[in-house]
Amino acid sequence: MTDNLPKDHRDVEADYVVGRDREGNELSHQVLAERLMQVAAYQMQKEITEDNDHTSLIDILEGGFRGYDKFSAGELWAEWTDSEDKWFRLLEDQELPWSIYNDDPAIGRKAGDEDKSYD
């Protein structure tokens, strides 16, 4: 049987700090992966329910997806720079598809608490 599973490119440990978000919070590899999953899930759900567009879901089921937890730190950061504003907007609007990760530094943040950092 051919091994067609996507390769793991993660080059750091899950708790390695990849960078800081716009609020100055340190973001570990694991927290970044979780935030990116939330944005991707929200976008897919919206495409399916509002536009009856299943293209993103079909692409993943057809071709596979490595998973953000298997991205290198650089790949994660590149994705995050494209998704950061969207994630904060979803957080602010309370539209994230699930609760944020327990180790996420934004865990204590409430709607309306813009530009504040939580430890």
pTM: 0.81
Residues 86, 105 contacting (CB under 8 angstroms): no
Q: What is the mean pLDDT of the chain?
A: 85
Distance in angstroms (rounded) separating the CA atoms of residues 50 and 94: 18
- Please, which residues have CB within 8 angstroms of residue 66's CB and are 6 or more apart in sequence? 6, 7, 8, 9
For residue range 6-56, list pLDDT tens digits in order.
565 667 787 889 999 999 999 999 999 999 999 999 999 999 999 999 998
Distance in angstroms (rounded) separating the CA atoms of residues 75 and 46: 25
Cα distance between the two ends of the chain: 47
Q: At residue 104, does pLDDT exceed 80?
A: yes
Maximum pairwise Cα distance, the chain: 53
The dihedral sign for the CA sequence 4, 98, 81, 40? positive
